[in-house]
């Protein structure tokens, strides 16, 4: 057994994940840190998925009648387990995904935050009362549990995205079935083990199978996507995946919550605080090795500022510590796999062919970790927003373009197929308000003097256009996990028809 495997084993044991789930299974899991195998996970036979869905249906029929604050108690306990085992789960995130440890901890913190949010929400699933046009009548809008939810997640936020969905869904009365990325099943097993602990402490009024995990490839996902017993499929991943999943779910009149690609930009205006912009840009572009859906990929800089900014950025990118994500001080860990590294090469080649001047982006050899794919973040000065800039490459590449007038910058900002996150660096109120206005940026998330990544859970998270339109986590995102019922009650002795229609029967 290699030492990485020993580390993984210790963490999974601490979290309480049963060994038969991750030893001797058919899916070999590798760590991007050194490319070594760290576990062998048992996969789910696609035919078994139907049984899981059936079990989730049983759970739903019991759980939907539990008072929401009681449902919230389960999530409160889950939040406690996450607090207790934050370091262990974060370490597992780093071992399996490769993000640096502080970001692994940040991801688990995001889970804790959404649990806290969901506990409060469990007493606030508010509906409306609506004025009726008829005497002696009233209208209500009530929110009822929807049904079991299929949750498909990506490797880059292997646990937080599940928690955004599961914490809200469970409080809303819906069981969840989770299909994690095949690249990161261990963190799912670790999370599931913590959920099991919370359930144990909760008492026996929770049904079995409130949260299940299914592991496998496309066929397992398809079994969820095509099941009419899952009224909602929440899927995070590439636009290509969303294009396949969305229409399939809709063809059976299911609901989808899609979180797909981003191509996030920052506009840097002449009035920007450049020191602040520098720090924000470095984290947003190079953090998580460029593998967040909110990663900064495009820098739209006023011509008068670029000469000052560009050399500073080049120096910062060149000096960033690239290496083992478990070591304190490392800022950029490995890419997830060889394919990701190849995609980075292909994008840099295309950028050069389209007139780009590349600095950085080279492979970094890290001692003792020859099986990992380590890359220095790349800064690419582009003559225009060409095709390569308009597509999302899941790697640390930052394209830089210049502008003269803010309206042109906003037009360039919006001229990409994706619409997740955006930001402007300015100290000029007119510029920031213009950017935030109806004719400003077109993304689901718009920030001022903050990079596009690292959103808090309190707001609704998601984006427009090819990002898929879904919203999850905070604000009123919970509504997608519930069905809305308009209720009209007549407490009079008459039967007036709406719109004054007369229909008298003898």
Of 324 and 392, which CB lies nearer to ligand UN1 in the complex structure? 392
Interface pick for ligand UN1 out of 454, 462, 463, 470 (rule CB under 6 A): 454
Of 158 and 175, which CB lies nearer to ligand UN1 in the complex structure? 158
- Report, in this order, helix, strand and coil percent for the chain, each rounded to 5: 40, 20, 40
Measured distance CA(377)–CA(401) in Å, rounded? 17
Instruction: Determine if 157 is a binding residue for ligand UN1 (CB under 6 A).
Output: yes
Active-site pick, 259, 392, 402, 466: 259
Measured distance CA(62)–CA(145) in Å, rounded? 11
The candidate with the shortest Cα–Cα distance to 297, out of 386, 395, 404, is 395
Measured distance CA(211)–CA(24) in Å, rounded? 24
CB nearest ligand UN1: which residue? 455
Of 292 and 465, which CB lies nearer to ligand UN1 in the complex structure? 292
Interface positions, 281-320, toward ligand UN1 (CB under 6 A) = 292-294
Burial per residue of 329-350, b for 16 or more beta-carbon CB atoms within 10 angstroms, e otherwise: ebbbbbbbbeebbebbeebbeb
Instruction: Determine if 455 is a binding residue for ligand UN1 (CB under 6 A).
Output: yes
Helix axes 218-225 and 239-251, enclosed angle (nearest 10): 40
Stretch that binds ligand UN1, among 44-52, 62-70, 353-361, 450-458 (CB under 6 A): 450-458
Of 53 and 331, which CB lies nearer to ligand UN1 in the complex structure? 331
Q: Nearest distance from residue 26's CB to ligand UN1, in Å?
A: 27
Q: How far is CA 203 from the centre of its chain?
A: 31
Q: How far is CA 186 from the centre of its chain?
A: 18
Measured distance CA(412)–CA(403) in Å, rounded? 9
Stretch that binds ligand UN1, among 32-40, 139-147, 156-164, 393-401 (CB under 6 A): 156-164
Q: Nearest distance from residue 112's CB to ligand UN1, in Å?
A: 13
Instruction: Determine if 333 is a binding residue for ligand UN1 (CB under 6 A).
Output: no
Mark whether 200 is an active-site residue.
Answer: no
Per-residue binding string, ligand UN1, 234-273, x by CB under 6 A, is --x-------------------------------------
Q: Nearest distance from residue 110's CB to ligand UN1, in Å?
A: 6
Interface pick for ligand UN1 out of 97, 453, 467, 477 (rule CB under 6 A): 453
3-state secondary structure of 215: coil
Burial per residue of 490-499, b for 16 or more beta-carbon CB atoms within 10 angstroms, e otherwise: eeeeeeeeee
Of 97 and 385, which CB lies nearer to ligand UN1 in the complex structure? 97
Full strand arrangement of the beta sheet holding 255-259: 211-213, 176-179, 149-152, 232-236, 255-259
Alpha carbons within 13 angstroms on the beta-carbon side of residue 195 total: 25
Stretch that binds ligand UN1, among 238-246, 268-276, 367-375, 452-460 (CB under 6 A): 452-460
Q: Nearest distance from residue 30's CB to ligand UN1, in Å?
A: 21
Q: Nearest distance from residue 387's CB to ligand UN1, in Å?
A: 23
Angle at Cα 141 formed by Cα 136 and Cα 146, nearest 5°?
A: 145
What letter would DSSP give residue 44?
Answer: P
Of 85 and 292, which CB lies nearer to ligand UN1 in the complex structure? 292
Q: What is the 3-state secondary structure (H, E, C) of 429-481?
A: HHHHHHHHCCCCCCCCEEEECCCCCCCCCCCEECCEECCCCCCEECCCHHHHH
Active-site pick, 172, 282, 293, 423: 293
Q: Nearest distance from residue 209's CB to ligand UN1, in Å?
A: 27
281 close to 266: Cβ distance less than 8 angstroms = yes
Strand partners, 137: 490
Mark whether 423 is an active-site residue.
Answer: no
Stretch that binds ligand UN1, among 83-91, 341-349, 361-369, 451-459 (CB under 6 A): 451-459
Of 30 and 473, which CB lies nearer to ligand UN1 in the complex structure? 473
Q: Nearest distance from residue 503's CB to ligand UN1, in Å?
A: 54
Any idea which residue has 């042109």 for tokens?
408
In whole angstroms, how far apart are CA 281 and each of 107, 191, 278, 285, 407?
20, 32, 5, 6, 22
Q: Nearest distance from residue 419's CB to ligand UN1, in Å?
A: 15
Any idea which residue has 């009650």 for tokens?
489
Interface positions, 103-122, toward ligand UN1 (CB under 6 A) = 110
Instruction: Determine if 163 is a binding residue for ligand UN1 (CB under 6 A).
Output: no
Q: Nearest distance from residue 138's CB to ligand UN1, in Å?
A: 41
Of 34 and 79, which CB lies nearer to ligand UN1 in the complex structure? 79
Instruction: Determine if 94 is a binding residue for ligand UN1 (CB under 6 A).
Output: no
The count of chain residues that interact with ligand UN1, using the rule CB under 6 A, is: 11
Of 44 and 447, which CB lies nearer to ligand UN1 in the complex structure? 447
Interface pick for ligand UN1 out of 156, 165, 269, 393 (rule CB under 6 A): 156
Q: How many CB atoms lie within 10 A of CB 185?
A: 27
248: which residues sit within 8 A by CB, 6+ positions away? 222, 225, 226
* Residue numbers annotated as active site: 259, 293
The site for ligand UN1 (CB under 6 A) is made up of 110, 156-157, 161, 236, 292-294, 453-455
């Amino acid at each position: 057994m290699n030492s990485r495997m020993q580390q993984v084993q210790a963490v999974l044991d601490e979290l309480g994940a049963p060994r038969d789930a991750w030893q001797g299974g058919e899916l070999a899991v590798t760590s991007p840190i050194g490319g070594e195998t760290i576990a062998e996970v048992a996969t789910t036979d696609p035919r078994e998925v139907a049984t899981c869905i059936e079990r989730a249906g049983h759970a739903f029929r019991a759980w939907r009648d539990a008072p929401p604050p009681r449902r919230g108690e389960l999530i409160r306990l889950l939040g406690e387990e996450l607090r207790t085992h934050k370091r262990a789960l974060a370490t597992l995130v780093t071992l399996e995904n490769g993000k640096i440890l502080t970001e692994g901890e940040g991801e688990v913190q995001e889970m804790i935050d959404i649990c806290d949010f969901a506990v409060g929400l469990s007493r606030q699933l508010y509906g409306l009362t609506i004025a009726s046009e008829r005497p002696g009548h009233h209208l209500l809008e009530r929110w009822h549990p929807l049904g079991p939810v299929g949750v498909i997640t990506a490797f880059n936020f292997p646990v937080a995205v599940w928690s955004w969905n599961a914490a809200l869904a469970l409080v809303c009365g819906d069981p969840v079935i989770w299909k994690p990325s095949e690249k990161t099943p261990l963190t799912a097993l670790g999370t599931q083990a913590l959920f099991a602990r919370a359930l144990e402490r909760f008492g026996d009024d929770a049904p079995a199978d409130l949260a299940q995990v299914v592991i496998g490839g496309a066929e397992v996902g398809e079994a969820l996507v095509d099941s009419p017993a899952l009224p909602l499929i929440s899927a995070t991943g590439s636009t290509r995946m969303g294009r396949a999943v969305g229409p399939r779910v809709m063809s059976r009149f299911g609901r989808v919550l899609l979180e797909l690609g981003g191509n996030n930009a920052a506009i840097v205006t002449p009035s920007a605080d450049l020191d602040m912009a520098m720090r924000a840009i470095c984290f947003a572009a190079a953090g998580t090795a460029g593998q967040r859906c909110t990663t900064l990929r495009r820098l739209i800089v006023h011509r008068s500022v670029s000469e000052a900014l560009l050399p500073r950025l080049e120096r910062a990118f060149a000096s960033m510590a690239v290496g083992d994500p478990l070591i304190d001080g490392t800022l950029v860990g490995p890419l997830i796999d060889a394919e990701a590294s190849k995609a980075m090469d292909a994008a840099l080649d295309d950028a050069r062919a389209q007139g780009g001047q590349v600095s950085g982006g080279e492979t970094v050899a890290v001692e003792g970790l020859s099986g990992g794919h380590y890359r220095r973040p790349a800064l690419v000065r582009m003559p225009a927003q060409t095709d390569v800039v308009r597509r999302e490459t899941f790697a640390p590449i930052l394209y830089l373009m210049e502008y003269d007038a803010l309206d042109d910058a906003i037009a360039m900002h919006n001229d990409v197929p994706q619409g997740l996150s955006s930001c402007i660096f300015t100290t000029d109120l007119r510029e920031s308000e213009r950017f935030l206005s109806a004719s400003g940026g077109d993304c689901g998330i718009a920030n001022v003097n903050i990079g596009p990544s690292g959103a808090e859970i309190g707001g609704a998270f998601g984006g427009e256009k090819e990002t898929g339109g879904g919203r999850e986590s905070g604000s009123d995102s919970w509504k997608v996990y519930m069905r809305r019922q308009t209720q009209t009650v007549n407490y009079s002795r008459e039967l007036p028809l709406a719109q004054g229609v007369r229909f008298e029967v003898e």
